[in-house]
Amino acid sequence: MASGHRNGVHKVIVKVDRPANLRTSSSFKSKPPVRRSSSALAGAAAHDDSVPGRVRVAVRLRPRNAEESVADADFADCVELQPELKRLKLRKNNWDSDTYQFDEVLTEFASQKRVYEVVAKPVVESVLDGYNGTVMAYGQTGTGKTYTLGQLGDEDTSARGIMVRAMEDILADVSLETDSVSVSYLQLYMEMIQDLLNPSNDNIAIVEDPKTGDVSLPGATIVDIHDQQGFLALLRLGEAHRVAANTKLNTESSRSHAILMVQVRKSVLGREAAFPNENDDPSHSVSSFKPPVIRKGKLVLVDLAGSERIHKSGSEGHMLEEAKAINLSLSALGKCINALAENSSHVPVRDSKLTRLLRDSFGGTARTSLIVTIGPSPRHRGETASTILFGQRAMKVENMLKIKEEFDYKSLSRRLEIQVDKLIAENEKQHKYFEDEIERITSEAHYRIMEAERNFTDELEKERMKCQMDYMESIKMLEKKWMLNQQKNGKNGFTDGSCSEERVVAPASEEVSEIKKLLQNEIQLRKAAEEEVNNLKKQLAECTSSEAGGTEDTAKLRRLLEDETRQKKKLEEEIFILQNQLSQLTFEADQLSHSPLKDVGNGHRSLISNLHEQVGLQKILSLLESEDANVRIHAVKVVANLAAEEGNQEGIVEAGGLTSLLMLLRSWEDETVRRVAAGAIANLAMNEANQELIMGQGGIGLLAMTAADADDPQTLRMVAGAIANLCGNEKLQTRLRSEGGIKALLQMVRSRHPDVLAQVARGIANFAKCESRASTHGTKNGRSFLIEDGALPWIVQNANSEASLIRRHTELALCHLAQHEVNAKDMISGGALWELVRISRDCSREDIRTLACRTLSSSPTFQAELRRLRIEL
Ligand code: ADP
Ligand code: MG
């Protein structure tokens, strides 16, 4: 079984930074030897990392055996041991002896365990550290070489020899996963190397590496050892083969040398070699990769042939040639040791196969222990003496211990391959994981987007439905309100001018006839008064003509006349009031007896016209200035009704009615007068010519004053209506504004009455329209006066008013304002853009909607803002 280790392992000399770590667990210690300059036997240069190590020699005395106990009973032993002094005394005779110093002196009582520990254990430990080691037994046949080295201890474990104990220690130290232990077992006989593990292999060649000088036996069987049992079996097998071979050769085992070679390969991976951590970036750690280091220690255990052969070969009846051959190796060993001991320049290593095999053990790089065995019998004193001398000489042999380490590139590449494969697999796994993850995230995101879109669409639809419902609800409500308003206030427009709350609610026809009677009386009284006046005039004329009258009478008469004139005026006023009341009552009576919807306005107006004809416009207008408040109220109502008719307006104005009406606005004391006057002015203000007149007479100031003062929403409605009409005149824009017209309008929004707000909105819309036109014609520059005067917030706020009139006017106002770029910025900042967008989408009037759309798309400022807000029209 050939070990695969040898192939492909690149041997290198490894520099070891630390000094060779030699274990010194026993008393068999190396003393620091003198460093030799070179080693002739090994032929290898001593390197810096070599450590001097002298060959250690122990002597072991075998106890007397049974035969000796009998035969030598009367004689003393030829040796005397002084183990504590590590000395041995060899008797020359009864009175003289020579003393020898050894590294260790083991008595006949020394246990096998102790022998192992002092002789072999330091060597075994060195082998485990990567050194070569040799333990060799030398001695006469029967002195216990085999007992010391090869005893298996089957029956008595305490008798286990060095081979068994060495393997025990080796196996305990190595890790069979990373390390290996293998053995070869050989016999050297007559210069032939036989394989004890494969007897047919009986002439194994020694191969020396010319570069390193390393000796190997490529032909020898190498068996990997995994456990002690396997090793013991191998030893038994080897022993059996040895016996068989010797029988075949007709010899005995004491004539041959037995050599057990134990190869220990230990990986020092993990202790010194750096391997990448899994967390490390592989690209980084690869550059710092060190191959694992392998320590290869070789332990050679040699059980030599009996040393007596050297001396006694001839006498034992062997053929000379055979004897020569048998002893060649031993005598060559002796010669080499002598040469080494004497530091001779020539060491005859090549003289025998034994010396070639042991070239590293003596004078080489191995740690070597020699145990020389002796017997106690004085009969073998000569043999004992020569054995002792051999040991003494061997003690002088100096080795240079060198660690055997090599980088295991194969293992490194194997490990790297594994690492790379692992990384590739990991990478692939990660890649797959990332891809899956990305797919998962993508599909999740997809799903979420879809869900969000769905939710959004649902919500939008819901919101849309809700808005529609709300819208329809409010439309319905407004319609209802409108209907109600129509029914309630149907006759209450500006063009109508009548004041419902002034109406007598339940006039009876009796009352009418009563008043008619009164009127008749009054007419009769007037006629009587007129007659009297005529009489008096006649009398006066008579008096004057007769010249008989005195100045006293004349003065009296003048006073009387004046009284009468006053009386007459008062009566005339009374008649006017009565006539007015009569026409009012007649109208109401008509209304009660006929369908209320049947041409009511016209009916009333015709009555008023009647009155007008009867009394005369001039007369009515003069009544506006009556001292009597009651007369003034009646007069202003009549004028207001007349002013509602376009046909009368010119007459009223020509007769100075407008001036009178404006004067009435100053009458603080009476709300009714102001309200009705304002209504009349509002009606007159529908006419463009009148508008200029109103302005010319400071109408705006008066109206603004009234607006500031009044609380009654109806008054405010009239005032706002009047201003709203004036707002529609392009020519008056600047003046209207400068006289506070817009401010007055905005002031009135404090009354939350929708009728007032509607008029305000109308005014603003009118103003905006005229201003827009003026801007287009170039007669107006700069921002809108409406914006200047702060109307925008109210416009924006009311642009979506529930009241359709207010909404329509404010929507229109916004559209007009938006047509001029100069207003755009203020409109954006004031929030008008949103309203315009809404108008362009939702306005129920198509023309306004289109106007808003057109305006928005033609303004660069709005366009930019819409883009910024990502709003599409
Ligand atoms: P060698 O191998 O040197 O020829 P052996 O080991 O065969 O000698 O020993 C010869 C005999 O002596 C054997 O029976 C052996 O058991 C016995 N013997 C040798 N040394 C001892 C010892 N230290 N204690 C007891 N018996 C021993
Ligand atoms: Mg033996």
Cα separation of 724 and 722, whole Å?
A: 5
- For ligand 1, atom 18, the nearest C-alpha belongs to 144
Kindly identify the ligand whose nearest atom is closest to the C-alpha of 239. 2
Q: What is the pTM of this model?
A: 0.48
Q: State the distance from the centre of ligand 2 to the C-alpha of 254, rounded, in angstroms.
A: 5
136 phi/psi in degrees, rounded to 5: -130, 140
User: Which atom of ligand 1 lies nearest, measured to the CA of 143?
Assistant: 3
Cα of 245 vs centre of ligand 1, distance in Å, is 22
SS3 content of the chain, % helix, strand, coil (to 5): 60, 10, 30
Ligand 1 neighbour 63 (Cβ under 6 A): yes
Q: How far is the CA of 755 from the centre of ligand 1 (A)?
A: 142
Determine which of 227-236, 289-298, 684-693 has the lowest per-residue pLDDT on average: 289-298
pLDDT of residue 170: 97
Asked if residue 253 has its Cβ within 6 Å of ligand 1, the reply is no
How many Cα neighbours within 13 Å face the side chain of 291? 18
CA of 237 to the centre of ligand 2 (A): 16
375 lines ligand 1 (CB under 6 A): no
Q: What is the pLDDT of residues 155-180, one digit of tens each?
A: 999 999 999 999 999 999 999 888 99
Closest Cα to residue 704, out of 822, 641, 789?
789
List, for residues 695-711, the tens digit of each pLDDT value: 888 889 889 988 888 88
Return all residues near 18 (Cβ < 8 A) that are at least 6 apart. Answer: none
Q: Whose CA is nearest to atom 6 of ligand 1?
A: 144
- Given a contact cutoff of 8 angstroms between Cβ atoms, the answer to whether 818 and 824 are in contact is yes
Beta bridge partners of 87: 82, 101
Spacing, Cα 567 to ligand 1 middle (Å)? 184
pLDDT digits (tens, 9 = 90+) for 278-335: 454 544 445 456 777 889 999 999 999 998 855 554 445 555 666 677 778 999 999 9
Per-residue pLDDT reduced to its tens digit, 744-782:
999 999 988 999 999 999 999 999 999 999 988 888 888
Q: Is the pLDDT at 439 greater than 70, yes or no?
A: yes
Asked whether the predicted pLDDT for residue 677 surpasses 80, the reply is yes
> 139-155 burial, b for 16+ CB within 10 Å, e for fewer?
bbbbbbbbbbbbbbeee
pLDDT digits (tens, 9 = 90+) for 184-226: 999 998 899 999 999 999 899 999 988 877 889 999 999 999 9
Among protein residues, the one with the nearest Cα to ligand 1's atom 19 is 144
State the ligand closest to the CA atom of 64: 1
For the Cβ of 165 lying below 6 angstroms from any atom of ligand 1, the answer is no
What is the chain's mean pLDDT, rounded?
81
Cα distances (angstroms) measured from residue 576 to each of 262, 624, 659: 156, 12, 21
Atom of ligand 1 nearest to the CA of 150: 6
Amino acid symbol at 483: M
- Whether 142 lines ligand 1, by a CB cut-off of 6 Å, is yes
254 Cβ below 6 A of ligand 1: yes
Closest CA to 783 of 827, 748, 717: 827
Task: Tell me the C-alpha distance between 827 and 843, whole Å.
Answer: 19
pLDDT of 627: 77
Give the position, in ligand 1's atom list, of the atom nearest the Cα of 147: 6
Per-residue pLDDT band for 633 (boundaries 50, 70, 90) equals confident
Q: How far is the CA of 144 from the centre of ligand 1 (A)?
A: 4
143 lines ligand 1 (CB under 6 A): yes
Cα four-point dihedral sign 460, 461, 467, 468? positive
Can you give the pLDDT at residue 34? Answer: 34
Instruction: Please check the confidence at residue 359 and state whether its pLDDT lies above 50.
Output: yes
Tens of pLDDT, residue by residue over 812-870, are 999 999 989 899 999 999 889 888 888 888 888 888 888 899 888 888 999 998 888 88
- The answer, yes or no, to whether any atom of ligand 1 lies below 6 A from the CB of 146, is yes
Most confident of 275-284, 585-594, 606-615, 845-854: 845-854
Q: Percentage of the chain surpassing pLDDT 90? A: 38
CA of 194 to the centre of ligand 1 (A): 24
Return the number of other C-beta atoms located less than 10 Å from residue 77's C-beta.
20
The pLDDT, as a whole number, for residue 271 is: 43
Write the residue with the smallest CA distance to atom 1 of ligand 1. Answer: 142
Closest ligand to Cα 161: 1
Q: Is the pLDDT of residue 801 over 60?
A: yes
Residue with CA at minimum distance from ligand 1 atom 17: 144
Cα(470) to ligand 2 centroid in Å equals 122
Q: What is the mean pLDDT of residues 438-458?
A: 90
47: pLDDT confidence band, cut at 50, 70 and 90?
A: very low
What is the distance of C-alpha 688 from the center of its chain? 73
Closest CA to ligand 1's atom 16: 147
Which atom of ligand 1 lies closest to the CA of 140? 3
- Candidate from 138, 147, 149, 251 with most ligand 1 atoms within 8 A of CB, to mutate: 147
Q: How far apart are CA 285 and CA 292, in angstroms?
A: 15
Q: Is 741 in the pocket of ligand 1 (CB under 6 A)?
A: no
Asked if 308 contacts 449 with a C-beta cutoff of 8 angstroms, the reply is no
Neighbouring CB atoms inside 10 A of 58's CB total 23
Q: What spatial distance separates the first Cα and last Cα of the chain, rounded to whole Å?
A: 94
**CA 719, 720, 725, 726: dihedral to nearest 10 degrees?**
80
Q: What is d(CA 678, CA 17) in angstroms, rounded to the nearest whole number? A: 120
Give the contacts of 847 (CB within 8 A, at least 6 positions apart): none
Closest Cα to residue 411, out of 224, 273, 271? 273
Calpha distance 263→507 (Å, rounded)? 146
Cβ atoms of 788 and 822 within 8 Å: the answer is no
355 C-alpha to center of ligand 1: Å? 26
Of 852 and 493, which is predicted with more confidence?
852
Q: Is the CB of 309 under 6 A from ligand 1?
A: no
Ligand 1 atom nearest to 254, measured from its CA: 4
Length of the chain: 873
**Rounded average pLDDT over 347-373:** 95
Which residues contact residue 750 at a Cβ distance below 8 angstroms, ignoring those fewer than 6 apart?
A: none
391 pocket-lining for ligand 1 (C-beta < 6 Å): no
Does residue 274 surpass a pLDDT of 70? no
pLDDT at 613: 66
Q: Distance between alpha carbon 632 and the CA centroid of its chain, in Å?
A: 85
Which one of the ligands is nearest to 151 CA?
A: 1
Q: Which atom of ligand 1 is nearest to the CA of 373?
A: 3
Ligand 1 and 141: CB distance under 6 A: yes
Let me know the angle formed at the C-alpha of 126 by 123 and 130, rounded to the nearest 5 degrees.
135
pLDDT at 240 (0 to 100): 92
Distance 149 CA to ligand 2 centre (A): 9
Question: Is the C-beta atom of 376 inside 6 A of ligand 1?
Answer: no
Q: Which atom of ligand 1 is nearest to the CA of 151?
A: 6
Report the range of poorest mean pLDDT among 244-248, 458-462, 635-639, 811-815: 244-248
Residue 204 is classified by DSSP as P
Nearest ligand to the C-alpha atom of residue 144: 1
% of the chain exceeding 70 in pLDDT: 81
65 lines ligand 1 (CB under 6 A): yes
Name the band, by pLDDT with cuts 50, 70 and 90, for residue 606: low
Measured in Å, residue 308 CA sits from the centre of ligand 1 at 15
Q: In this model, does residue 37 exceed pLDDT 50? A: no
Predicted local confidence at residue 419, as pLDDT: 84
Write out pLDDT tens, residues 398-418.
999 999 888 877 777 877 888
Q: How close is the Cα of 301 to the center of ligand 2, in Å?
A: 13
Pick from 59, 62, 242 the residue to mutate for probing ligand 1's pocket: most ligand atoms within 8 Å of its CB: 62
Distance 100 CA to ligand 2 centre (A): 25
pLDDT band (50, 70, 90) for residue 604: low
Checking if the pLDDT of 687 tops 90, the result is: no
- Put residue 782 in one of left, alpha, beta given phi > 0 → left and psi -120 to 50 → alpha: left
Q: Residue 144: CB within 6 Å of ligand 1?
A: yes
For 499-555, the pLDDT digits (tens) are 343 343 444 566 677 777 777 787 787 777 778 777 877 777 766 565 555 567 667
